[in-house]
Amino acid sequence: DAGVIQSPRHEVTEMGQEVTLRCKPISGHDYLFWYRQTMMRGLELLIYFNNNVPIDDSGMPEDRFSAKMPNASFSTLKIQPSEPRDSAVYFCASSSRQGGAAFFGQGTRLTVV
Amino acid sequence: AQSVTQLGSHVSVSEGALVLLRCNYSSSVPPYLFWYVQYPNQGLQLLLKYTSAATLVKGINGFEAEFKKSETSFHLTKPSAHMSDAAEYFCAVSRMDSSYKLIFGSGTRLLVRP
């Protein structure tokens, strides 16, 4: 298995632009998580899905952030419009069942200038 | 709601010395507990997990952790540190019920001195 695949690995964009981060979870996993990692705030859970349905989006910082999971093999995290304070590493992770360990992708390093 | 506290943002040990990274959790229901390691510019890698079986859990790279319900702790240990263990370590908790929400501690950076 190739593991959790995230794209792009690096993204540099200008303030105000739309940014879309992509994630392909491990096949057969039914939970998908989006995290944001910064020096100041550590690892924050933004949103998670179970069987493609958003379960808890209480960590999404603002309405500028949205996430979708149209099918079991693909999810997106979109920021529109982007701001410099959104600069962070965004991780996607997936898990096979309740209580199972989450497996992480390599992350997308987002820089908003 | 569950939460995790990791004591010490930085821990420094000599090569060959005992490694002890502390984690305390809070959960209103029985928890699942995890330790992850993160090397620079990489994602998080699972070291070990506790899911209500044995309280002493062995993981990869010689690490182990013990679940102590009375102390609400899940400390990570390794008898002898290697230079390659230098990384950031995260403790995480989720719930043993339908609300599967994996929450991470703030992390502990382990430095290994030659």
The answer to whether A106 faces chain B, any CB pair under 8 Å, is yes
Question: In the predicted model, what is the mean pLDDT of residues B63-92?
Answer: 96
Q: What is the DSSP letter of B61?
A: G
Contact A42 B45 (CB under 8 A): no
Looking at residue A17, what is its pLDDT?
97
pLDDT reading at A98 higher than 80: no
Compute φ and ψ for A86, nearest 5 degrees: -85, -5
Which tens digit of pLDDT belongs to each residue from B98-109? 567 788 999 999
Residue B49: predicted pLDDT: 92
Q: How far apart are CA B16 and CA A29, in angstroms?
A: 39
Helix (H) or strand (E) run with residue B8 in it? none
Using alpha carbons, select from A11, A15, A33 the residue that is nearest to residue A89: A11
**Mean of the per-residue pLDDT values for chain A?**
94
The Cα A48–Cα A23 span in angstroms is 13
Q: Which tokens is B37 given? A: 């390691």
Cβ A56–B101 below 8 Å, yes or no?
yes
**Mean pLDDT, rounded, for A53-60:** 93
Read off the amino acid at residue A76.
Answer: T
Separation between Cα atoms, residue A29 and residue A71, nearest integer Å: 12
pLDDT at B21: 98
Residue-wise pLDDT tens digits, B16-26: 999 999 999 98
Amino acid letter, residue B83 = M
- Give the closest residue to B23 by CA, choosing from B61, B60, B77, B63: B77
Which chain A residue has the Cα nearest residue B6?
A42
Q: DSSP class of residue A106?
A: -
How much of chain A exceeds pLDDT 70, in percent? 97
Distances in whole angstroms, Cα of residue B35 to Cα of each of A50, A56, A94, B21: 22, 23, 16, 10
Q: pLDDT tens digits, residue range A29-44?
A: 999 999 999 999 999 9
Percentage above 90 pLDDT, chain A: 84
pLDDT at B31: 84
pLDDT band, residue B1 (cuts 50/70/90) = confident
How close A89 comes to chain B (CA, Å)? 9
